[in-house]
Structure 1
Amino acid sequence: MTTTAADLRRRVRDLVAAWEFTPRCDSWMSGYDVEFSRELGRRGLLAVTWPKEFGGAEGSNVDRFAVSEELLRAGAPVAAHWVGERQIGPALLRHGTRELQEEFCPPLARADYRFALGMSEPDAGSDLAAVRTRAVRDGDGWRITGRKIWTSGAHRATHLYLLARTTKEDDRHAGLTEFIVSIDAPGITVTPILDLRGEHHFNEVVLEEVRVPGHRVIGEVGAGWQQVVGQLSFERGGPERFLSTYPLLAAVIQTGLADRTALRELRGLAARLQILRRWTLTNARAMDAGHTPVTQAAMSKYLGNQFETDVINWARPLMPRADRAVKELYEQAVAASPASGIRGGAAQVMLSVISKGQG
């Protein structure tokens, strides 16, 4: 571990120890505290890899891994900044115009802007090539009409990242374009989708002739598929793909709930956790070397989801003896589990990416 990464871990632990919050499973989707995210920004713990001119620290992806791992292990409330800092900022730094970089990256580094991802659609699911939301030219801008589903955090977001079809091509992967849309733009309707516990994290977003300025296109018109494939490496390859249930795992151990059978099974879980951690660090180092680890990220996502599910199954027999706090973590993990297997791409999609060896 580098000196920088060690210092970042210490700074995160200091903030977590001083901040009043209740640890959550799946905290990067359901743990929402704007002020906590802003405090991370004030302490230089957001946008770690970004250029200093855009609010970053010019650190490495390994440094960012250190920050993310500490926050996720603590079950800290990071959902307010997660999507924007994890993938929108990097996408803009890679493909965006200077105008977009200056408009969005500094506020994202301060957690003043909050993004939701408008990717999945009804009847399309994880198949982004099946996107039917359409964007048509309107003077110097665009008009967008369509529906997005399972849009996490849209009810609290300031902006929506949107993948839309700008031309109709024989090749389904062609003719897609990435946009940034203000969530309060006329023509946008956000409708809640409640989870199994009645909590509101997901939404359906309907767009009816929504006007988007021309400069809000990310990268090249029609190049959305190629761009989003690289962007998904940021989404699929991070530690959130195997640490969403870590607070439950830690709580079971710390409260002494684990019986002899559970302790024996814990050895296997611990070994897998170390393998996933090392694999994710390899992804981070690959990005630091300028690569886009598409296949490796898909493997991390696929295996990480299996691990999280197995943590739930491991804890289930112990719940009758658990206290209220541990049971709450267990219930959070169970409620998040169906979505965990889908967001970022369902298992079948991940296996397809892995089999093709795309990067």
Structure 2
Amino acid sequence: MDTPFRFDPVDLPPEALALRAQVRDFLAPRAGAFSAHTKGLSWMGVDQAFSRGMAAEGWIGMTWPRAYGGRERSQLERYVVLEEMLAVGAPVGFHWIADRQSGPLILKLGTEAQKRFYLPQIASGEACFCIGLSEPDAGSDLAAIRTRLKRDGEGWRLSGRKIWTTNAHHSRYMIALVRSEGTAADRHKGLSQVIVPMDAPGVEIRQIRDMAGDAHFNEVTFDDVSLPAEALIGTEGAGWAQATAELAYERSGPERYLSSFPLLAASVDAAMPGDRLTARVLGDAVADAAVLRSMSLAVAGMLDRGELPNNEAAVVKDIGVDFEQRLPEVARAVAGPGAALGDAGQFGALYQAVLQLAPAFSLRGGTKEIVRGIMARGLGLR
């Protein structure tokens, strides 16, 4: 009998285990320089020099064909690289979105010219991508998008705004979901995706600083931006289906439970020997992490077989968010109130960095309501 959710056990192949040792050797002389704040930012931390170092090892776009800058490695090998990077809080944000979803979208739907132009830029660590989805009047309700794409001779004109765009200020390109026909009332119909150079005339980027003073998010305005015909990615009018498939890639990675792993590891190191209460709290958290890892590996196995794990990725994302948002409480149980007051040195700094980001974990990749809607459809309940 077919089941809507499949989490088949996955054993990593020998080549993936060998690669893990190589990644650890790469990280060994570098991880000690990562600040507590950097570790807390996890995959949102941007360091292009670090990304270029990974690119030199062949670890960006590593599953793609060699003709486009890839190394033709397996999804399970890629999983090992991501897992090791996240475990130490490496600053992988410069290439993260491009490697995770922009590149695979271009590889799947792009023209040959688009693949040869964009993918080598990603694989070399030279091009950062951002995703243009949310708008001031269309946050989680992506079907209400108003940013307008109009034909202009053989090309296009783009006008509108995007908001909460991660790393737009670092990006060379944006893949934007826009309305190419109809109005917001048409919902899923008439949406398309375009690749927008962030230095094009008429593109304005305004950083949005959070309460901690960091600026990960941006508001991006398009003022009658001229785009060539080849800016369109995929099929005109098929943007909704394309974007939802792209979001499945976003939800499928180990960052859905490993973003805060450095804090869990630090909590284990900081625990007092013989403290049974702390041991129980940490034991529960480590057990949850082990289960999530098994589920996340199953999703990677599906990707390796060429399957799109929409339902499974949604489950991992939903459970992983609860797990990650609970980790600051676990850390506080271990370190006491001093962590919250910044009195616990590097541990306290890491705790505060994760605590500040934790509320947003349930938003990235889709709110809980959206993710559970996907799960409900997978179960035939909607």
- Which TM-score bucket, shorter chain as reference? over 0.9
Is 1:356 matched up with 2:370? no
1:169-318 alignment, distance < 5 Å: 171-256=186-271, 259-317=275-333, 318=335
Q: Is 1:21 paired with 2:34? A: yes
Change (3 A) 1:278 1:152: same
Q: Distance in 2 between matches of 1:341 and 1:298?
A: 12
- Give 1:261's aligned amino acid: L
The alignment partner of 1:332 has SS state of helix
Aligned residue runs from structure 1 range 4-153, under 5 A: 4-19=15-30, 20-22=33-35, 23-29=38-44, 31-153=45-167
Q: Is the 8 A contact 1:286 1:293 kept in 2?
A: yes
The one-letter code of the counterpart of 2:71 is A
8 Å Cα contact 2:34-2:89 kept in structure 1? no
Give the length in aligned residue pairs: 358
The structure-2 alpha-carbon separation of the partners of 1:321 and 1:263, relative to structure 1 and needing over 3 Å to count, comes to farther
Deviation at 1:257, TM superposition (A): 5.3
Distance 1:171 1:356 in 2: 22
The C-alpha deviation readout for 1:11-67, integer Å capped at 9, x for no partner, is 2211111223325123111x2110110010101111121111111111121111111
Q: Report the TM-score when normalising by structure 2.
A: 0.90
1:193-216 deviation per Cα after TM superposition (whole angstroms, max 9, x unaligned): 112211111111111111111101
Instruction: Label 1:125 to 1:289 Cα distance change in 2 as closer, same or farther (>3 A).
Output: same
Per the TM alignment, residue 239 of structure 1 is displaced from its structure 2 partner at its CA by 0.5
1:146-165 → structure 2 map (5 Å cutoff):
146-165=160-179
Q: Offset at 1:311?
A: 0.9
**What do the CA deviations read for 1:135-180 (whole angstroms, capped 9, x no partner)?**
1111111111111111111111111111101011664112111111
Q: How does 1:324-339 map to 2 (within 5 A)?
A: 324-339=345-360
Alpha-carbon distance in 2 for matches of 1:229, 1:321: 43
Instruction: Single out whichever of 119-128 and 214-223 deviates more from structure 2.
Output: 119-128
* Contact 1:8–1:45, Cα closer than 8 Å, also in 2: no
Distance in 2 between residues matched to 1:191 and 1:101, nearest whole Å: 29
The structure 2 residue matched to 1:2, chosen from 13, 25, 33, is 13
Deviates most, 348-357 or 125-134 = 125-134
Deviation per CA, 1:106-146: give whole Å up to 9, x if none: 11001100111111111321222121111111111111111
Q: Distance in 2 between matches of 1:321 and 1:263?
A: 19
Work out whether residues 195 and 335 of structure 1, in 8 Å CA contact, stay in contact via their aligned partners in 2: no
Measured in 2, the distance between the counterparts of 1:4 and 1:161 equals: 33
Cα distance in 1, alignment partners of residues 327 and 296 from structure 2? 19
Q: Once the two structures are superposed, what CA deviation does each residue of 1:225-262 show, in whole Å capped at 9, x if it has no partner?
A: 11111111110111111111111111111133584322
**Identical positions, percent:** 42
Structure 2 Cα separation of the partners of residues 203 and 329 of structure 1: 24
* C-alpha contact (below 8 Å) 1:257/1:321 kept by paired residues: no
Mean CA deviation greater in 46-55 or 74-83 = 46-55
Contact 1:294 1:358 in 2 (8 A): no
**Structure of larger gyration radius:** 2
Unaligned runs of 5+ in 1: none
SS in 1 for 2:72: coil
Cα distance in structure 2, aligned partners of 1:184 and 1:206: 12
Once residues 186 and 347 of structure 1 are traced to their aligned partners in structure 2, the CA distance between those partners, rounded to angstroms, is: 37
**C-alpha distance in 2, partners of 1:139/1:85?**
33
Tell me, yes or no, if the aligned pair for 1:122 and 1:147 is still in contact at 8 Å. yes
Residue in structure 1 matched with residue 9 of structure 2 by the alignment:
none
Q: Which AA in structure 1 matches 2:231? A: R
Cα distance in structure 2, aligned partners of 1:89 and 1:319: 43
The residue type equivalent to 1:202 in the other structure is F
Q: Is the 8 A contact 1:152 1:201 kept in 2?
A: yes
TM-score, normalised via structure 1 length: 0.96
Q: Is the 8 A contact 1:302 1:347 kept in 2?
A: yes
Output the CA distance in 1 between the equivalents of 2:213 and 2:379. 38
| Range moving further from structure 2, 188-197 or 165-174 | 165-174
Deviates more, 1:293-302 or 1:259-268: 259-268
